[in-house]
Amino acid sequence: MGDNFACLDDFEKHALSVLPKNALDYYTSGAGAQTTLEDNKRAFSRYKIRPRFLRDVSKRDLSTTVLGEKISMPIGISPTAMQRMAHPEGELANARAAEAMGTIYTLSTIATSSIEEVAQAAPKCVKWFQLYIFRDRSVTIDLVQRAEKAGFKALVLTVDAPVFGIRLADVRNRFTMPPHLALKNFTSLSMTKFDDKIEGSRLTGYVASLFDDTLNWEDIKWLKTITTLPILLKGILTAEDAVLAVNHQVDGIVVSNHGGRQLDSTFASIDVLEEIVNAVGNKTEVYLDGGIRDGTDVFKALVLGAKMVFIGRPALWGLAYNGEEGVKKILRIIRHEFDTTLALCGCCNVGEIKREMVVHESHHSKL
């Protein structure tokens, strides 16, 4: 099985058939009625491509430069928590796959492998560290210092989770991490001690007890005082916040609704991308995640102004299939799809992508 997997959705179908219910529900869930989760994917189909032909596309190059680093393609891996529920090598396998494919791996704070283990497993990979800010600031300072020391190249501060989104399946399952796993970035702060009798799942209790829900723009200034790494804000969904981010001199913005897991009924990330890109101009780099499932999605996001995109769940499905090899296969497939899309649109590289190459489907009805 697996040799005939042709697209990312084939890996998802496989994962649905092999992962234990507790983990699978945690990985797949969105918040509430899951309208944003579903819309993240569906929204891409509402954008249509206007290809150009007869342009000699024989010599193509997918590489790009992000925060000054050259990477092989504009497709990287989003932070997802607890990756060892998908495969025994979890984050290590995922980072090794990104390294082999020459792209960026983002490690979650809530990881089942430590910062140091990931750095050792994939020393040449361009690694970013996703940061949650804890009420106990010494926890966050420790994470930042360790990420810097281990050679991570940027901090991705997640801004859309002052409290935990309500994911109904996790509530019903009273989700908790399997006992053989640990949150390896901490020596204490294990999940088991958090009350599962409060509303929500044990994760809700964990976040409510430990994450700092006073987080605000002043904290961006504080974060800048404790690190020299570039700071990216993940979870920005409006032009207003994007402008504030620029005013606070962040180095990048990840347009994201957390894969539909935090606040249901927000717009799909692709639908707010252009508003944000227009608001920030060339003052900061803009990336996108949420619902990217094939090469045409990548192309559409780049046309609408993203410098790069990231995939979350598909990498978990790759892990569930076959660890590092599974994630490499996922990345190879989407890379090939993006390459094919570029060629069929008359582009040889990302610099040749032009705004007029994508329109919203409502475009023709307005003509």
Ligand X SMILES: CCCCCCC(=O)C(=O)O
Ligand Y SMILES: Cc1cc2nc3c(=O)[nH]c(=O)nc-3n(C[C@H](O)[C@H](O)[C@H](O)COP(=O)(O)O)c2cc1C
CA-to-CA dists, residue 77 to 112, 277, 288, 291, 303, angstroms? 16, 21, 11, 13, 20
Instruction: Report the partner that residue 203 touches, choosing among ligand Y, ligand X, none (CB closer than 5 to 8 A by kind).
Output: ligand X
| DSSP 3-state of 110 | coil
Structure tokens at 309: 């995109």
Other C-beta atoms closer than 10 Å to the C-beta of 251 total: 16
Residues annotated as catalytic (active site), given as ranges = 258
Instruction: Find the binder of ligand Y among 64, 103, 114, 256 (CB under 6 A).
Output: 256
Answer yes or no whether residue 311 interacts with ligand Y by CB under 6 A.
Answer: yes
Whichever of 75 and 203 has its CB closer to ligand X, that residue is: 203
Q: Is 79 annotated as a binding residue?
A: yes
Structure tokens at 352: 């040749």
Residues facing 256 on adjacent strands: none
Instruction: Report the partner that residue 313 touches, choosing among ligand Y, ligand X, none (CB closer than 5 to 8 A by kind).
Output: ligand Y
Nearest to 73 by CA among 363, 332, 320: 332
Answer yes or no whether residue 258 interacts with ligand Y by CB under 6 A.
Answer: yes
Residue 131 Cβ vs ligand Y, minimum distance, rounded to whole Å? 9
* x-marked contacts with ligand Y along 59-78 as a string, rule CB under 6 A: -------------------x
Residue 166 Cβ vs ligand X, minimum distance, rounded to whole Å? 12
Given the rule CB under 6 A, which of 92-100, 212-220, 287-295, 325-333 is the region that contacts ligand Y?
A: 287-295
CB 302 within 8 A of CB 350: yes
Handedness of CA 193, 195, 201, 204 (dihedral sign): negative
- Parallel, antiparallel or unpaired: strands 64-66 and 69-71: antiparallel
Given the rule CB under 6 A, which of 70-78, 199-207, 245-253, 341-349 is the region that contacts ligand X?
A: 199-207
CA distance 351 to 58: 16
Structure tokens at 107: 């490690």
Instruction: Give DSSP secondary structure letters for 250-298.
Output: -SEEEE--GGGTSSTTPPPHHHHHHHHHHHHTTSSEEEEESS--SHHHH
Residues facing 69 on adjacent strands: 66
Answer yes or no whether residue 80 interacts with ligand Y by CB under 6 A.
Answer: yes
Whichever of 170 and 274 has its CB closer to ligand X, that residue is: 170
Nearest to 229 by CA among 129, 118, 95, 104: 129
Whichever of 202 and 300 has its CB closer to ligand X, that residue is: 202
* Nearest residue to ligand Y, scored by beta-carbon proximity: 312
Structure tokens at 319: 């892990």
Answer yes or no whether residue 259 interacts with ligand Y by CB under 6 A.
Answer: yes
Whichever of 132 and 347 has its CB closer to ligand Y, that residue is: 132
Q: Is 258 annotated as a binding residue?
A: yes
Instruction: Find the binder of ligand Y among 76, 200, 290, 326 (CB under 6 A).
Output: 290
* Placement of tokens 């009420």 in the chain: 135
Q: Is 77 annotated as a binding residue?
A: no
Looking at residues 248 to 287 of the shown chain, list those that interact with ligand X (rule: CB under 6 A): 258, 261
- Helix (H) or strand (E) segment spanning residue 352: none
Answer yes or no whether residue 318 interacts with ligand Y by CB under 6 A.
Answer: no
DSSP code, position 72: S
Whichever of 258 and 335 has its CB closer to ligand X, that residue is: 258
Tell me the residue type at 130. Answer: Q
Q: Which residues are annotated as a binding site for FMN?
A: 79-81, 108, 130, 158, 234, 256, 258, 289-293, 312-313
Binding positions for ligand Y, rule: CB under 6 A: 26-27, 40, 78-81, 108, 110, 130, 158, 234, 256, 258-259, 261, 289-292, 311-313
Q: Which residues are annotated as a binding site for glyoxylate?
A: 26, 132, 167, 261
Binding positions for ligand X, rule: CB under 6 A: 81, 110, 161, 191, 203, 206-207, 258, 261
